[in-house]
Amino acid sequence: MKLDVNSLRYLTKAHFRVLTAIEMGMRNHELVPMQLVESIAKVRTGGVHKLMGDLLRNSLVHRDRSKYEGYRLTYMGYDYLALHTFVARGTITGLGRQIGVGKESDIYLAVDGEGRQMALKLHRLGRISFRNVRNKRDYMRNRQAKPGSWLYLSRLACLKEYAFMTALHDHEFPVPEPIDQNRHAILMSLCEGFPMTQVRHVAQPEVAYSELMELILRLARCGLIHGDFNEYNLILGYDEKITLIDFPQMISTNHPNAQIYFDRDCQGVADFFRSRLGYHGSELPLFTDIGAREINLDQEVQASGFSEEHKQKFNKLMSEQTKEMGEEEEEEQQGQNDDEMAVLKQETDGDVTRDVKAQVATEGETKGEVTGSDSVITLDVVSLISKVSEDEESERDVVEPGTSFLDQASRTLDKEETSTTAETARSTTNSATPIKLELSAEEIKEKVRRSMRQKKGGKGKKGGSKSKKNQNKNRDKRRLMTQARNDR
């Protein structure tokens, strides 16, 4: 999904009040009804419908009528809420091009008021194009997962990564500097360099190999295991310094599968250096070589932002989301229509207010995250500063006038009810007299014959057919004119 922020500058405070009202309603509603949006947003009567029409045109919300008419936020609307908060805080003033796309996140260039370049990571868990990841990850998208749950899970994954990044940066690990976080978005410092997956040559491969192995051991001595330590999550700087990114999947060394993930991280680094750089390193470190623990960073991370309550919610939702993974792949092969029918059969009419917290949590991993290709990156920045003054916001609810979606829907229904069709004996150049469906068959035939006679005879002064007397008079005049011409 491409993030278009041009409309962000023209949205008023009333628009964001409606977006925030929908976000609050999605805490315990699958679809937020209009009455609830009006009560939370507290916009003047009739204004919510106009504002909702603008949000629908910009794909910030989605309207669903499967069970009842309700609304939910899209990822675009969630992005707008996070960006609006960053702009209000003054941490970001413009957004540049997209520099990375991962399975569960997108990376964009951003700038602040002083012109400093930063990286904006937007978590997008549940991306449809990455459903078949259960062979690589321990979760996948369940077709019964509600759209609101993915927004909530993206927020949890973002909180987890921001907590890890903050703790690692405070202990001087080679990670980006965390700047700000809101909802599912993280603002961090921009790392100049290339991802290791694009590297074909390293000046000193033995030094880089030893640094990476020592980094794995150092993390383990602090009580953490990265879990996805590979070339996709390592950035090689221009001075050949390595930066580690992507942390939502990190686990503690006390985890039951800690040794498996530790060995996998070490083996992944060794395979990359052997296949890509042609360097065969020394023997791989073992889990028993970690030694004594230096600090309890895994416990500190929970205290710094990702609390025990968040952890329990995250693990609970992830365990629920991983149910019936094998069944989903078989059902997906039957086509989207079969999937939708199966969903409708399994859903009940009373299940419209279930809590968003009963959904599934996933991780925010970014494969192929790129932070720059040149020492100086040129930015085509789109300003996020609103062009609508506060006076204009108080005078009007919407910036772009237009017909609300309710008016458009009513007009469509009226057209469907009043449209009628009739078959004529043959097509004519002029439109025939409209035929009412409630007429009998004989009356319809009589009107058709009358209409055909009028077209053959032409139109008189009053638009009707000419009389037979006038037709004979004209025929006599033409006959006399023809005789006179022949006599000459």
* Residue in 275, 276, 219, 274 with CA at minimum distance from that of residue 249: 219
Q: Which of 180, 228, 298, 397 is catalytic?
A: 228
* Residue in 419, 469, 442, 175 with CA at minimum distance from that of residue 297: 175
Separation CA 146–CA 317 (nearest Å): 12
Q: Which alpha helices (H) appear in 233-388, and where do they start and end?
A: 258-275, 297-304, 308-321, 325-332, 336-346
Q: Which residues pair with 101 in a beta bridge?
A: 106
Which residues lie closer than 8 Å to 163 by C-beta, 6 or more apart? 301, 302, 304, 305, 306
First-to-last CA distance in the chain? 85
Contact 250, 365 (CB under 8 A): no
What phi-psi label fits residue 384: left (phi over 0), alpha (psi between -120 and 50 degrees) or beta?
A: alpha
Separation CA 412–CA 42 (nearest Å): 29
Separation CA 201–CA 404 (nearest Å): 58
The residue behind tokens 């009513």 is: 410
106-113: Cβ within 8 A, 24+ apart: 106/1, 106/3, 107/366, 107/369, 107/370, 107/371, 108/3, 109/190, 109/377, 109/379, 109/381, 110/187, 111/379, 111/381
**Per-residue tokens: 128:** 């449809």
Three-state DSSP class for residue 339: helix
Angle at 190 between CA 185 and CA 193, to 5 degrees: 130
Active-site residue 414, yes or no? no
* Residue in 304, 290, 299, 302 with CA at minimum distance from that of residue 215: 290
Contact 298, 252 (CB under 8 A): yes
Enumerate the active-site residues: 228
